[in-house]
Amino acid sequence: MQAKDASKQVGGNARSAALTPETRSKIAAKAALKKAGYPSATHAGSINIGGAVIPCAVLETGQRVVWQREVVGLLTGNKKGGLSRYLTAANLEPYAPEKFKDGDFDETAIVFEMDGRKAHGFEAEDIVDICRMYMTARRAEALLPSQIHLAAQAEVIVLSLAKIGITALIDEATGYQEVRDRKALQALLDTYLRKEHAAWAKRFPDEFYRELFRLRDWAYPTVSGARPGVVGKYTVNLVYERLAPGLVQELEQRNPKGENGQRKTKHHQWMTDDVGHPALTAHIHSVMGFMRACDSWDQFMTMMDRAFPKKGAQIPLLLEE
């Protein structure tokens, strides 16, 4: 048991020694903030509100937050300074959100850990409440002349959020959020592929097959002039599966095999002239370049998997022979 614990300690020390000083410092900072009780951001991204790109995050507590300085900049156009001077004026007190009435707005900010650093943010709902305060005060004609532009910006923010919100609600209610990514992928594939196939034209240079045969140690051309059936599978693997995600599946639907197991057309006859064929040609020539540079099929496939990995595939390491 002691030997096992000692082995773990040695392994841990080895992993620690392999880390860069910057990485070690980041890990230590994350641990210190965690120990201090600050929640960590588990997901991060950005949203577009009123034409401004605002960083946001989801904390391990489930809270949705935006950076404090971004809220200040979104409302005032100036990210410097806190919100207190904009939100604690006496004329705004009757309209202030309950959450902020008994304390400093800046002290109410949520402190959390993000990439080993301490960050300050507000919950997403706070943005709406702050904007509502200004809009309500404007309706009550309680704003000072210097605050009118803040109410106008608050309205822009609320309208932007309402537009995003109704779309998200409908997507969630209908389950459409699950197909949004598929819709985006379909739009990409539609730029690559035709609705109907075009006339046949030579797209794969003879060199492509000559080099393929060389790497497989086959005689080129064959005695009959025909290619082994596996060449078609190699072509799909090397070209179409690596050209765009989901391309092969879409081609299978548009160009299916008949009852005799053959296709009426070649896959490349379905490629569009403006996007599909240029992408296909560029990829084929890249593949031929790797073929010329390699002495064996295994070496070639390792380089292909490294340079043009299939979606979801693990990228292999290039090791010295």
115 and 231 in a common domain: no
Domain end, chosen from 127, 143, 178, is at 178
262 and 149 in a common domain: no
Q: What's the pLDDT at 185?
A: 65
188 and 105 in a common domain: no
301 and 248 in a common domain: yes
- Chain Cα centroid distance, residue 239: 24
172 and 195 in a common domain: no
Mean pLDDT for the chain?
A: 80
User: What tens digit of pLDDT does each residue of 175-197 get?
Assistant: 666 666 666 667 767 888 888 87
User: What tens digit of pLDDT does each residue of 223-273 get?
Assistant: 777 888 899 999 999 999 988 888 999 999 999 998 888 899 999 999 998
2 assigned to some structural domain: no
222 assigned to some structural domain: yes
Tell me which of 238 and 87 has the higher pLDDT.
Answer: 238
User: Rg of the Cα trace of the chain?
Assistant: 30
The strands making up 110-114's β-sheet, listed across from edge to edge, are 41-49, 52-59, 64-67, 117-123, 110-114
Which of 16-20, 200-204, 250-254 is predicted least confidently?
16-20
163 and 264 in a common domain: no
Number of structural domains, the chain? 2
**Structural domain boundaries enclosing 108:** 32-178
Residue 135 token pair: 């809009």
The CA distance from 266 to 249, in Å, is 15
Cβ atoms of 271 and 277 closer than 8 Å: yes
195 assigned to some structural domain: yes
Residue 134 has pLDDT above 70, yes or no: yes
Domain end, chosen from 147, 178, 209, is at 178
174 assigned to some structural domain: yes
55 and 164 in a common domain: yes
206 and 110 in a common domain: no
How much is the pTM? 0.47
Question: Which residues make Cβ contacts (< 8 Å) with residue 250, sequence separation at least 6?
Answer: 189, 193
Q: What's the pLDDT at 170?
A: 65
220 and 122 in a common domain: no
22 assigned to some structural domain: no
Could you give the residue ranges of the DSSP H alpha helices within the chain?
2-18, 21-35, 68-76, 84-87, 98-101, 124-139, 148-174, 180-192, 206-215, 230-235, 241-243, 247-254, 276-293, 297-307
Q: What's the pLDDT at 218?
A: 92
User: What tens digit of pLDDT does each residue of 136-149 get?
Assistant: 999 999 999 989 99
172 and 42 in a common domain: yes
171 and 239 in a common domain: no
Domain end, chosen from 144, 178, 212, is at 178
192 and 169 in a common domain: no
Residue tagged 């960083």 (tokens): 55
Closest CA to 271 of 281, 256, 257, 285: 281
Residue 292 has pLDDT above 90, yes or no: yes
User: Looking at the DSSP assignment, which residues form a beta bridge with residue 40?
Assistant: 113
Query: Over 81-113, what HEC string results?
Result: CCCHHHHCCHHHHHHCCHHHHCCCCHHHCEEEE
Tell me which of 293 and 46 has the higher pLDDT.
Answer: 293
7 assigned to some structural domain: no
Q: Give percent of the chain above pLDDT 90.
A: 24
Which one of 2-11, 145-154, 163-172 scores highest in mean pLDDT?
145-154
